[in-house]
Amino acid sequence: MNIKGLQTKEIFPGLKGKFIHGKNISWVFWNVNDGAKVPMHSHEHEQIMYVVEGKFKLKVDGNEKIYKKDDFVVIPSNAKHEGEALSDCKLMDVFSPARDDYR
């Protein structure tokens, strides 16, 4: 398979992803428009976010940090978090367990 053949889904305005699902993990490749926001939320899934390109502001359990190219963060299960793109971004997320809501 090739990622170019995967359908793109817009989860929030300006946040478009391509999704690969295994039995226990989901891997997401995001294209995020400058200014796009991810509202405060939490989920049972542990999440690792990696910044391929751009700058992304993320607040996790009240702690805010700006992530840039080659930065990553581990977001624990059920942690409240929100984000905002400070530029056009390319991000990768890995979720465990798999995100059935993104299938």
Total number of domains constituting the chain: 1
DSSP H helical ranges for 1-103? none
Q: Which residue type is seen at 75?
A: I
Cα–Cα distance, 91 to 35 (Å, whole number) = 14
14: left (phi over 0), alpha (psi -120 to 50) or beta: left
Is there a domain that residue 1 lies in? Answer: no
- Copy the structure tokens of residue 34: 């400058």
pLDDT tens digits, one per residue of 87-98 = 999 999 999 999
Average the pLDDT over 54-66 and give the result.
98
Cα–Cα distance, 81 to 39 (Å, whole number) = 8
Report, in angstroms and rounded to the nearest whole number, the Rg of the chain calculated over CA atoms: 13
Residue span of the structural domain in which 49 resides = 8-30+37-68+81-91+94-98
Longest dimension (CA), the chain: 39
For residue 12, what pLDDT is reported? Answer: 96
pTM: 0.95
Percent of the chain with pLDDT over 70: 100
Is there a domain that residue 3 lies in? Answer: no
Is there a domain that residue 43 lies in? Answer: yes
For residue 86, what pLDDT is reported? Answer: 99
Identify how many contiguous H helices and E strands the chain contains and give both numbers.
Answer: 0, 10
Q: What is the mean pLDDT of the chain?
A: 97
Is there a domain that residue 86 lies in? Answer: yes
